[in-house]
Structure 1
Amino acid sequence: MRVKLTLALTDRPGVLLKALEQIAVNGGNIISIIHRRDRITSGYVPVSINIEFPDPSSLERAKKGIEASGIPVIEAETLEKSISTVILVGRVSIEALTEKLQELGSRVAEISMIGGLTSPCLKLVLEAPSGKLQTILSALEKLAEKWNALLITEG
């Protein structure tokens, strides 16, 4: 699994090395490091590290090891995305729909509408973090039910 860890490092020699050691001992393979020395905030330098881990438990062990070393993990974001196409038939609130999808961590990569106001049909191409797609589709089912619309999903 590919993730982006953002760490808050104190601006001292060897601090980044402590974090990298925890990543290495837990099977992480570093893809890139972005060291933002120009954005020092409250004495901390934000550092983003893109890493490939063999499994989620390796990531969790690395995060715990990094935090045990006294380095705050600001963010851990999965970089792998799932893409799904859905069709909604019926009157729906596009604004409420996109807000709900964003709230759940999904992004509408493409949207198209046919049918006009009397029988609208929306086609959405969604991008979601791997592992969250089923939750997002369940939320869409509830919205479709609320709006008395038909939801068609792939697969």
Structure 2
Amino acid sequence: MQRLRSVLEALSGENPAQRKKRKRRHPRLHIVGSDELEATYAQASQAHIDAAILQPSLSIKRGADLALKYHLPTACVPRWFAEAGGLLSYCPKYSDTYRQAASYVDKVLKGAKPADLPVQQPIRFELVINLKTAKALGLTVPPSLLTRADDVIE
């Protein structure tokens, strides 16, 4: 989450002193279901919220479309959010996660007790930036951020 925060801060173009002076707040707009997305994006736009993080259990494509409609830079966990038109995604590399899960299934099927297996966390993460969306939102993505990205959609 810290890397995602630094990505969003880099996109904002403010340095830490400017942010502190502005006393930026981080309001939370709770959504129960996808049917509330449009009203929430409208509310965020009226409240002049700078950016949003979309819960991945909600409609990814709808969230990406509404982010553009309301000019609200939005990030989300799965890579397909950026592919669907969202600004950026930051998530574990799913192919690695699936490989880890398969090795656990193999161990359990060979008789290992699940409670005895160590908990593993993702090792590799993937940052995907959609430059087409950034341009539509009027954002300039710093070159230093583009070089860190694993994939850039143009």
Which one has a bigger Cα radius of gyration?
Answer: 1
TM-score (norm 1): 0.26
Give the structure with the larger strand fraction.
Answer: 1
TM-score (norm 2): 0.26
